[in-house]
Amino acid sequence: MPLTTQQWHARFVEQSAWTAPLRAFLFTQAHLESARHILEVGCGTGAITLDLSQSTNAEITGVDILCDRVRFAEKVDAAIGYSCADALSLPFEQDHFDISFCHYFFLWMKDQAQKALDEMVRVTRHGGMVIALAEPDYATRIDYPVELITLGKLQTQALERQGALTDMGVHLPELFSKAGLSNIQFGLTGFQNEVHEIPAWFDSEWETLTNDLHDEMADEELARLKELDRHSWEEGSRVLHIPTFYAIGEVK
């Protein structure tokens, strides 16, 4: 059964927690303290815009092509300006925003990622900043114990069937360069887990996995892998690493 909008929101909140320290660092580099207008492209249910609103008095705008998620976000915080809009044709004048950013977004744009980034640049003022907060590279995913490598491969294949470019992270430097941005910096986000602790995002991760893989394997096999995953975290042997890239650049 597909995930509900409420379940997706819980998932997006978990993902936003992964990158919270990085966001704080990058928004400082982007001069958040002096920003008046900020845009998130692919805002989903508003998990990050809601968090950002606690750190700035700037006018925040969020856009997403999925209108049900936009309606959900509007109910979460009506003070933020949300719009159902296509990232390939943003409904804003050029040079309007001080900061434009996205989060786990370009991987879903595939061969349209450059056009989406060009649109973000268009609506951002000279001297403003454009940020890709998190784009993964599933091609170099690491899973351990080895029995869980299959799980990682199946999840990557499921994302590809859904239209994701699963190695989008490594393309960020090229995308930002082609967009004409200056002072480009990129790197890897840092995720830290505790040994002998089941991560707080374990259940939402498995909700997503179950949704992605229910047609690929029997329920019994999914349940077996989930229990193996849980046990591996509990005994301290689990390693799960998906290199996730960020990039930031200045509009000329």
Q: What is the mean pLDDT of the chain?
A: 94
The pLDDT value given to residue 23: 94
pLDDT number for residue 75: 92
Global pTM value: 0.93
Task: State the Cα–Cα distance between residues 21 and 5, nearest whole angstrom.
Answer: 26
For 35, residues 6+ apart whose C-beta sits below 8 A from its C-beta are: 56, 58, 98, 99
> What percent of the chain shows pLDDT beyond 90?
84
Tens-place pLDDT, residues 92-114 = 999 999 999 999 999 999 999 99
Structure tokens at 46: 């508003």
> pLDDT band at residue 238, thresholds of 50, 70 and 90?
very high
Residue 225: pLDDT over 70: yes
> With bands split at pLDDT 50, 70 and 90, how would you rate the model's confidence at 134?
very high
- Asked whether the predicted pLDDT for residue 191 surpasses 80, the reply is no
Domain ranges of the chain: 5-136+165-194+242-250
Tens digit of each residue's pLDDT (9 = 90 or more) over 8-44: 999 999 999 989 999 999 999 999 999 999 999 999 9
The stretch 76-95 carries a mean pLDDT of: 95
pLDDT at residue number 196: 83
pLDDT(193) > 80: no
At residue 1, the pLDDT reads 67
For 5-136+165-194+242-250, the fitting CATH number among 3.40.50.150, 3.20.20.60, 3.20.20.140, 3.40.50.80 is: 3.40.50.150
